[in-house]
């Protein structure tokens, strides 16, 4: 039986979950603690920290880690880490928590206690400085900047203990922690696994890229993000349904794994590409696909900036191999999907359809051409969008 050659970031997979026999007592204790109410975005971060997806983090960042991440994309101990993972509170909350050692982290929408946190420090931060460093812009139309400017202006930091998770029953069967995915890869004998991150439906261009990568490794992990995204992104339940039908009909079942990714989108482009790669390393991947404008939004980032950022880091230190792909398209002369590297024909023969255009076509009730989207997938998307 082969074992994945992927080592968790920092050398050890963090696990901050609580055993079932201790859970009732710990929830009872947490009910007596002062409360910080958290958004769905932050709840997702709590979950990702707790299950080890954000290894080596064991909680929300101290100021020394936060500042070095902004400046150098490294933690204070010099490990590569490209995005801040922080818990914002208001100045008034910070004053009220000044002498509080421990708090309960409670969902603002559902009142559920998701975790407890030991408070190590609280610090003010410069939102504009963070926005420029992380998103390369301070434009409030950018969804990440908009979220940043709307939140509290103090960060509270410290280790957490994860008590409960929010798992959507629609795709609970696809929920696997990093530990569980690693065990699955070992059970199936996969030594090399390529991860594919997506918040969009998979169209023929994605399929072309994924299957090209699959030629070089033992298995493909389709890891669709199901956390918070932009309002105009296609809903997770619709996307998951389309992924299921696609894998059922067009992918080798013995070499493809579909698993949900409970993170929220930050829309940080290049920095988020590094972030997504490191997280997939924690899930057991040895390779990670980076396409055009990874984790981008609008025109804030260059088409291949998310690939170029990897040049700043030694591949050995990263511990996961990025696979770069150019824009794919349908070529009428090649009569199939192709890219700049494989197609000799000019633009007149190339038909490219962006995710934005696909969404517009779907919302109009039409179906994209089979050249762009498998018929079964298109049908699910049209029906799903008109139900939502």
Give the Cα separation of 200 and 66 in Å (integer): 30
Q: Which of 102, 135, 162 is the last residue of a domain?
A: 162
Q: Which of 162, 197, 219 is the last residue of a domain?
A: 162
CB-side neighbour CA atoms (13 Å) of 178: 29
The whole-model pTM stands at 0.94
Residue 1 has pLDDT above 60, yes or no: no
Residues 129 and 204 in one domain: no
Strand order in the sheet with 328-331: 336-339, 328-331, 350-351
Residues 181 and 156 in one domain: no
User: Residue 235: which domain range?
Assistant: 170-387
Looking at residue 126, what is its pLDDT? 98
- Domain membership of residue 369 (yes or no) is yes
CA-only gyration radius of the chain, Å: 21
Looking at residue 170, what is its pLDDT? 86
At 3, the pLDDT band (50, 70, 90 cuts) reads low
CATH of the domain at 135: 3.10.400.10
- 200-211: pLDDT as tens digits: 888 888 999 999
Q: Which of 162, 178, 203 is the last residue of a domain?
A: 162
Do residues 280 and 91 lie in contact, with contact meaning Cβ atoms separated by under 8 Å?
no
- Domain membership of residue 276 (yes or no) is yes
Residues 185 and 305 in one domain: yes
The tally of domains found in the chain comes to 2
Residues 185 and 145 in one domain: no
- Domain membership of residue 28 (yes or no) is yes
- Domain membership of residue 253 (yes or no) is yes
- 99-119: pLDDT as tens digits: 999 999 999 999 999 999 999
- Domain membership of residue 239 (yes or no) is yes
- Domain membership of residue 10 (yes or no) is no
State the burial class of residue 66 (Cβ atoms within 10 Å of its Cβ: 0-12, 13-18, 19+). buried
Average pLDDT of the residues in 174-184: 98
- Domain membership of residue 347 (yes or no) is yes
Choose between 340 and 84: higher pLDDT: 84
Q: Kindly report the average pLDDT of the chain as a whole number.
A: 93
Residues with catalytic function: 199-200
């Amino acid at each position: 039986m082969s074992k994945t050659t992927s080592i968790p970031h920092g050398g050890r997979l963090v696990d901050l979950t609580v055993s079932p026999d201790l859970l009732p007592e710990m929830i009872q204790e947490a009910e007596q603690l002062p409360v910080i109410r958290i958004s769905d975005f932050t709840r997702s971060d709590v979950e990702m920290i707790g299950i080890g997806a954000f290894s080596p983090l064991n909680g929300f960042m101290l100021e020394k880690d936060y500042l070095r991440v902004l400046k150098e994309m490294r933690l204070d101990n010099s490990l590569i880490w490209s995005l801040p993972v922080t818990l914002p509170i208001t100045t008034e909350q910070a004053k009220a928590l000044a002498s509080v050692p421990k708090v309960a982290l409670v969902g603002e929408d559902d009142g559920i206690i998701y975790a407890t946190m030991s408070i190590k420090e609280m610090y003010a931060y410069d939102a504009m400085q963070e926005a420029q460093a992380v998103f390369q812009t301070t434009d409030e139309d950018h969804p990440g900047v908009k979220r940043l400017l709307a939140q509290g202006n103090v960060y509270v930091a410290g280790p957490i203990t994860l008590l409960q998770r929010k798992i959507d029953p629609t795709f609970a069967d696809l929920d696997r922690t990093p530990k569980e995915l690693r065990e699955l890869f070992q059970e199936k004998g996969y030594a090399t696994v390529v991860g594919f991150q997506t918040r969009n439906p998979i169209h023929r261009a994605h399929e072309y890229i994924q299957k090209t990568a699959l030629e070089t490794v033992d298995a493909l992990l389709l890891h669709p993000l199901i956390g918070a995204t932009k309002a105009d992104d296609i809903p997770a339940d619709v996307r998951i349904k389309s992924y299921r039908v696609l894998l059922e009909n067009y992918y080798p079942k013995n070499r493809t794994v579909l698993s949900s990714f409970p993170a929220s989108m930050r829309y940080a482009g290049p920095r988020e590409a590094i972030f997504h790669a490191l997280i997939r390393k924690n899930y057991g991947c040895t390779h990670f696909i980076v396409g055009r404008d990874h984790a981008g939004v609008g025109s804030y980032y260059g088409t291949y900036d998310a690939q170029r950022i990897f040049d700043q880091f030694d591949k050995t230190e990263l511990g996961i191999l990025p696979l770069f792909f150019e824009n794919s398209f349908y070529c009428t002369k090649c009569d199939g999907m192709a890219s700049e590297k494989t197609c000799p024909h000019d633009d007149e023969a190339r038909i490219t359809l962006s995710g934005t255009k696909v969404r517009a076509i779907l919302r109009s009730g039409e179906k994209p051409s089979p050249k762009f989207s498998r018929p079964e997938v298109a049908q699910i998307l049209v029906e799903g969008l008109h139900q939502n």
